[in-house]
Structure 1
Amino acid sequence: MPYMKRVVFVLLTICVLNSCNSNEPKPIKLNSDSCDNCKMTISNGKFGAELITEKGRHYKFDDIACMVKFAKSGTTVSTKAFYVNDYLQDNTLIDAKKAFYLKDGSINSPMRGNRAAFSTQQEAEQYKTKLNAAPSSWDEIFNSFQ
């Protein structure tokens, strides 16, 4: 029996260590999770964002602007991944570096970052006129906030 306990312990330890290094985002709990930058409750599933550090810590945000400002503030260790909510799929996180962006126009995000992310370029193009918004890129967004 002691052998089985050791095996179970080793397997559980491996599972825990693997989950800590996850590159996958954790779902944002709307109206429950708070923004790690501005401390407001995250309530809009179109604009949330998540940052994952190299050590596997997850930080959640109510706006892309909050995430970028937090990343540039020096309060975290090296960033492993950035995720943003898909504007068309409520509370669905997508890779920030692969997303297609629109900015300004009638986009009204919680902290006035006024950026919307889309999974495909086609979707962004379809909403560009509807939102009276201009195309943007991840690099431009990352460099536009201090």
Structure 2
Amino acid sequence: MQTLKHYLITALLLIFFSCNVSPKAIDYGSDGCHFCKMTIVDKVHAAEIVTKKGKVYKFDATECMVNFMGEFDTSEIELYLSNNYTEPEVLIDATEATFLISENIPSPMGAFLSAFKNKEDAEKVQAIKGGELYSWDKLLVHLNN
């Protein structure tokens, strides 16, 4: 009986520590968007959600991630990530990002939405391409209206 108890404790510890809450690299040209089912090919506009249990959902655009959130219990989400416009393939914390909606920068689903790690980079691109800047919270309101 003591041995069984040790096995159960070991199994529970393995399960607990195997839940790694971190982003996973997007395999461009192979991974599919969890929301729209398109193959993810755009290395500038992709996005990802990681749940508190470590499950990863990949998206071809931030707008797909936001649309997916309407179908999901957001209290279970640990990380919201978007690709950084100035560093393709680099995922950044979407809740801390500055977003630019500019009709001069197409995104995969047609929302013209790009994410920037810092506001200064977003303002530089905005000066050239035009458009409106949004914080994460303001973006959610804008896209859900």
Shorter-chain TM band:
0.7 to 0.9
Instruction: Report the residue type matching 1:125 in the other structure.
Output: E
Count of equivalent residues: 139
CA separation in 1, counterparts of 2:52 and 2:121? 31
Equivalent position SS for 1:122: helix
* Structure 2 residues not aligned, in runs of 5+: 1-5
| Cα offset, 1:104, TM superposition | 2.5
| Cα offset, 1:75, TM superposition | 6.9
* Structure 1 residues not aligned, in runs of 5+: 1-5
CA separation of 1:49 and 1:80: change in aligned 2, threshold 3 A: same
CA separation in 2, counterparts of 1:75 and 1:35? 18
Asked if the contact 2:40/2:60 (under 8 Å) is kept, the reply is yes
Asked if the contact 1:64/1:113 (under 8 Å) is kept, the reply is no
Partner of 1:117: 115
Instruction: Report the residue type matching 1:62 in the other structure.
Output: D
Equivalent position SS for 1:92: strand
Runs of 4+ aligned residues of structure 1 deviating over 6 Å after TM superposition are none
| Cα offset, 1:14, TM superposition | 5.2
| Cα offset, 1:105, TM superposition | 3.0
- State the TM-score, normalizing by the size of structure 1: 0.83
Asked if the contact 1:108/1:114 (under 8 Å) is kept, the reply is yes
- State the TM-score, normalizing by the size of structure 2: 0.83
Asked if the contact 1:105/1:134 (under 8 Å) is kept, the reply is no
CA separation of 1:70 and 1:125: change in aligned 2, threshold 3 A: same
Partner of 1:73: 71
Partner of 2:33: 35
Partner of 1:64: 62
Pairwise CA RMSD: 2.5
CA separation in 1, counterparts of 2:56 and 2:128? 33
CA separation in 2, counterparts of 1:76 and 1:119? 22
CA separation in 1, counterparts of 2:73 and 2:28? 24
Equivalent position SS for 2:88: coil
Equivalent position SS for 1:142: helix
